[in-house]
């Protein structure tokens, strides 16, 4: 069974940090582009950060540039999102996703982890 399982969410004060993890299982994700999305009720899911299969290329939404860092450890089949200088507007459910080579976009999704930033 293919699974992406996020962890590391929680409640943090503004200015604080959290590190999200996404553990993949059921198939190798080493060749997939991986991404972190976030969503609030009534709003579309938005891409926060993405990383190439090798980890050599990363991209970020303007709203999180210079505060968030995406990374991956292919030996552990795990992707991370280091979030620093958190703001209340970063509050959302965060989802991990995989975009396999040749696929028509983001094909695998985790169940999400809640991040709440208090002011």
Q: What is the pLDDT of residue 111?
A: 97
Q: Which residues of the chain have pLDDT under 50?
A: none
Q: What is the pLDDT of residue 2?
A: 86
Nearest of 5, 3, 18, 15 to residue 115 by alpha carbon: 18
Tabulate helix, strand, coil % of the chain (nearest 5): 5, 50, 45
The model's pLDDT over 10-27, given as tens digits with 9 standing for 90+, comes to 999 999 999 999 999 998
């Amino acid at each position: 069974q293919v699974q992406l399982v996020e962890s590391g969410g929680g409640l943090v004060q503004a200015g604080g940090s959290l590190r999200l993890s996404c553990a993949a299982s059921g198939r190798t994700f080493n060749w997939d582009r991986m991404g972190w999305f976030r969503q609030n009720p009534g709003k579309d899911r938005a891409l926060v950060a993405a990383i190439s299969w090798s980890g050599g290329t990363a991209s970020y939404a303007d709203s999180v540039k210079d505060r968030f860092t995406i990374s991956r450890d292919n030996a552990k089949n795990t992707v991370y999102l280091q979030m620093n200088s958190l703001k209340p507007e970063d509050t959302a459910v965060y989802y991990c996703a995989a975009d396999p080579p040749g696929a028509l976009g983001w094909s695998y999704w985790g169940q999400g982890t809640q991040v709440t930033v208090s002011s």
